[in-house]
Chains A and B, each alone.
Chain A
């Protein structure tokens, strides 16, 4: 059983501060949906509104098509996994997991059985009688998931549950979470500020900034076709040129900058000024100028990042640009101080507005 979630014109104010501004999103049943954004962007507030710890100031939240206004957290078909996991330290693991059943009056033998089943599901058999303090970070993570699953929620809400783990374990748990989600088919709503996590696990991602949802799309779309500068900047690196749109036709436009006139895809500017964004891996360095979109640069620092090599360069006016080349063995790395040309494909560059914020 899983349910979809609809947010319609949802706003949430704390005093005069508007934490969430007019959020509209429709999450499908069984979907793995992530809200991605920096801290303070309102993503946790959305989660707490869905779980029922906060009531929205305006707007409607529907879970499985039902308006949940006034429904208390303990009566919603959602289960929340807290950032710090909030495992009960004084109960053994199996009591932790079956707590939701205990408060529903389920008898002890059934609870015990259910707890052991769930421990198997999260790949932690034999831990039933341990205490929370005996577990490692990753094991605690699994127990928290099992505890949330025990009440058979239609929606799981996860508030940055991996943030306390170290890098390697975090990557391992990503795959694990995704696998558990697919095994159970429950709708997952995942909150994170880590774009790698969001892009790797989710069916769709909602990028947020300053209380507003900036873009909702699948991970590829978010990365390849961000709708504005904020999204482009939050999910990856960019070379940014300031300038003016001159001629627009067929979704493309020419853009006049101090470094020359470039051609690029034209995003939805909504009447506002835009900037030109190009990802470093979409640029090419060459010793001769390309036919279009070419900037003369001087090569600066070269940093070796393992799977790729980042080459920092400056233009004649002193602006900093970056180019990345894959470290596939065939790449020739330019010398520091060399004079070269950086160019990019017009289809891979976009003219975008700044973030969508309240004016």
Chain B
């Protein structure tokens, strides 16, 4: 009975993975089907024509570049704000902490539609207030910079959570030790705290980057006339679709897979090194006895 349950649960895991990954395979597969409509049935033969058409698609390439800029800006700003917030939250307590933390977390739950519209309205209103409604200069006009600000408003909270989790495993005694040895405040930050946080900051930057790429709601309401990939794909899906979108999806999935693979290999390597070190410490321990 126990064995059966165990096998059933393995089976369920397999099915779940299949459910998650198969749609991506189908989507990628359609990129190679020589059919005007994006599908894998009926299969009309192999082709790479959609990849060359994708590269020829000027609007898509422009959207792609825009997306990278927005994502990079969001990643940088969110990492800075999120890290500062995590450090602040970690060093206060009581009511102030509860209120601030609650406010930060709630930004993740605010619907993107609300963030998009409110960001758009505030900056244009502020511009109108300062310069009059007809002569508002940048940055008080719709555009991707407002998308960046809108995205930062909730992605910062995700970075904050990641960094805060890492801070929890930080021994504040290390900072005191460094201060005691004569380090200045900025030296403590640079040499002791930040190196400990780098893994979380790196993960935060990755999360911020990818969250920004996939953001639709905020961008849709703030972008003005500019395109990002998500917005472009969306408009394509609603108007006439060609499998160029599948070609794009295939490339993005490949990039994701390669990054995931690199990450996994790196993680295993680090785990091996750490295990070897611990074994050495145990040997030294035994030798002292």
A contacts, CB < 8 Å to B? 51-53, 72-75, 78-80, 82, 84, 86, 88, 90, 99-100, 102-104, 131, 133-139, 147-148, 150-151, 168-169, 172
Contact = CB atoms under 8 A, between A and B. Distances in A.
Contact of A73 (B180, B191, B277, B284): B180
Interface stretch (B1-9, B85-93, B126-134, B171-179): B171-179
Given A86-B173, A136-B285, A99 B277 contact: no
Interface stretch (B24-32, B181-189, B208-216): B181-189
A84 B181 contact: no
A147 B171 CA distance: 18
A133 B284 contact: no
Given A99-B191, A134-B284, A147-B181, 15 more contacts: A52-B180, A74-B182, A80-B177, A80-B180, A82-B176, A86-B171, A86-B177, A90-B195, A99-B178, A100-B183, A102-B191, A103-B181, A134-B280, A136-B284, A139-B284
Nearest to A72: B179
B241 interface: no
Contacts of B187: 103
Contacts of B182: 74-75, 100, 103-104, 151
A84 B173 contact: yes
A201 B56 CA distance: 81
B281 interface: yes
Interface residue tally of chain B, by bracket? 20 to 34
Contacts of A90: 195-196
Contacts of A99: 178, 181, 183, 191
Given A80-B180, A90-B195, A99-B183, A131 B277 contact: yes
28 contacts: A51-B180, A53-B180, A72-B179, A73-B180, A74-B181, A79-B180, A79-B181, A80-B176, A80-B177, A82-B173, A86-B174, A86-B177, A88-B191, A88-B192, A90-B195, A90-B196, A103-B182, A131-B277, A133-B278, A134-B277, A135-B284, A136-B284, A137-B285, A147-B181, A151-B181, A151-B182, A168-B289, A169-B288
Given A82-B176, A168-B289, A133 B274 contact: yes
Contacts of B284: 134-136, 139
Given A139-B284, A168-B289, A103 B176 contact: no
Nearest to A76: B180
B274 A86 contact: no
Contacts of A172: 288
Contacts of B278: 133
Kindly list the 10 A-B residue pairs having the minimum CB-CB distance in the complex, ordered from nearest: A100-B181, A136-B284, A86-B177, A136-B285, A86-B173, A103-B183, A134-B277, A133-B277, A74-B182, A80-B180
Interface in B244-289: 274, 277-278, 280-282, 284-285, 287-289
A27 to B, nearest CB: 18
Contacts of A86: 171, 173-174, 176-177
A80 B195 CA distance: 22
A256 to B, nearest CB: 53
Contacts of B282: 136
Contacts of A148: 181
B173 to A, nearest CB: 4
Contact of B177 (A72, A75, A82): A82
Nearest to A81: B177
Contacts of A74: 179-184
A80 to B, nearest CB: 5
A279 B287 CA distance: 39
Contacts of A82: 173, 176-177
Contacts of B181: 74, 79, 99-100, 103, 147-148, 150-151
B285 to A, nearest CB: 4
A73 to B, nearest CB: 5
Contacts of A51: 180
Nearest to B187: A103
Nearest to B173: A86
Contacts of A80: 176-177, 180
A144 B119 CA distance: 52
Contacts of B171: 84, 86
A155 B136 CA distance: 64
A172 B277 CA distance: 24
Interface string B143-177: 00000000000000000000000000001011011
B277 A138 contact: no
Contacts of A147: 181
Contacts of B177: 80, 82, 86, 88
